[in-house]
A and B are shown apart, each in its own frame.
Chain A
Amino acid sequence: MSGIAFSPNGMVMDFLRSCYTQNVKFVKGDETQVTPATWYFSKPTAKPFPGEQSFTSPTWDTVHPTETEIGFDATAPRLWSNGKNLNHSAGTKFAGSKEYFLEGQDTISGLPRGVNDTPVECIAKPTGVAIGGSLAPIPTVRWCDVPFPLPIYLRCKVTNSIDCKYYTADIVVKYYPTFAGFPGGYLGIDGWYGTYTVSGVTFYCYLARYGLLPPQHCISYIWNGINTNTPMIALTWQQNPILIQNHRDEWYELNCLNVPPFYFKCQMQWTEL
């Protein structure tokens, strides 16, 4: 499948009794470019390909052979296949542009593939899951360590990677640890700044604490620029994700003595809509 920039990756493309291998034409306007493609039985979890596509089986043609510009070459020989799955995909997402499935790709360009020939973008999260043409949410969790107590303006950088196809830039986030209520409140974070270019994504975030010493060793804290000089006794840690909707100018600063560095553990969970 080298040179093909799209893959159904286990999604249901057609209904067949038996499986086979046959050449397909996959480049728009160039019928000379062919490569063998193999039918195999989909998993019970597989979804039908969401939309029109031209890579169905010539078995269903009324006139044999029916020659087409894109898709399976009905004049090419068929080689029987036992229908064994070619990868471990659940068959819920495809790889590559959706237009390629209908019109073919523009040029020969490969698709990054991993184990068992599975497209890389279908292996890792988050990526689109197609169910009837819509995207199903996939919660994705990333962890990053936030040094504490200083600096105040903590930064966390989530490096964009190839598996985040919908994230086109590095996500640089400044965390402002804040008290939304003290002492009975919770410790949240606000202020999601950065150069992320994400639309339709909901961010959830909460802080968890781990380290050598708890913050009650700190002698004071500043909340929104107000020094309360109140020793920190306890922190109520937010256990449930906080929906970060809008930036709030809340922040706090700890003035700690002889406290070795410890860390907040920031869990970011986002749901791709």
Chain B
Amino acid sequence: MPDALSKITFFFESNGGTAPTGWTETFYSQNANINQVLSQSLAQYVGPRALMLGVGCSLQSIRVARFPLERTTQISFITGASGTSKQYTDPATDFYDPTQVDLLVRLQTDGGKKRSLALSGLPDKVTDQLVQQGIFDFFVNGPGFKNWIKAITSLNFCIRYRVAPGPSPSYLTDVITTGQAIMVRNRKRGRPFDLFRGRRLA
């Protein structure tokens, strides 16, 4: 498959008091019409993804860049996607888990290419268990997770992988066809603890 023609970046934000945290989730597409990719993502992906978010975090905006130079870009804000309603069994009052515990998801193509995606912002009820001990059945069998995987595959989101090293590396992309929840796992974000920002000695 050819290289990607557009890159879709979703921006998430969660309330963190004085320092709200945020993260991005990125996919690739073989559609060079970034305006179309943006509108399709808004219509088909944002809803299922936002429905999996716990209370307190939200899907804020989308940025679609056209390859290969990635500079021609279109951005959009997302309104009304606060993540306060969910399709599966969690009550609406279930807050997301801010303790750096994410759901490890494996996305795979027909060609066998794999990508691990740390799914953040899930409700506490989903991630509230021992890490590396699997995942609750109610989540993987619920419509929320399935709809999210369905959105990824229906939009032909791709995995991009490198086939030749740099300094001018070359890439190929394959369309994601399946997604599988693996386990709940710690995911450290931010500055490492042993590299704290302290007063520097002159």
Contact = CB atoms under 8 A, between A and B. Distances in A.
A256 interface: no
B70 A48 contact: no
Contact of A51 (B70, B71, B74, B166): B74
Given A52-B34, A60-B9, A15 B63 contact: yes
Interface residues of A, number: 24
Interface in B57-87: 61, 63, 65-66, 69-77
B169 interface: yes
Given A15-B61, A52-B35, A60-B65, A71 B71 contact: yes
A61 interface: yes
B88 interface: no
A102 interface: yes
Contacts of A14: 63, 73, 75
Contacts of A49: 74-75
Given A14-B63, A15-B11, A60-B9, A53 B76 contact: no
Interface string A230-272: 0000000000000000000000000000000000000000000
Nearest to A46: B77
Contacts of A60: 9, 63, 65, 70, 73
B61 to A, nearest CB: 7
Interface of A: 12-15, 47-49, 51-54, 56, 58, 60-63, 66, 68, 70-72, 102, 132
27 contacts: A13-B75, A14-B73, A47-B77, A48-B75, A49-B74, A51-B74, A52-B34, A52-B66, A52-B72, A52-B74, A53-B73, A54-B71, A54-B72, A54-B73, A56-B73, A58-B71, A60-B73, A62-B70, A63-B166, A63-B168, A63-B169, A66-B70, A66-B71, A68-B69, A71-B71, A102-B72, A132-B76
Interface of B: 7, 9, 11, 34-35, 61, 63, 65-66, 69-77, 166, 168-169
Closest 6 CB pairs of A and B: A56-B73, A68-B71, A48-B75, A71-B71, A52-B74, A54-B72
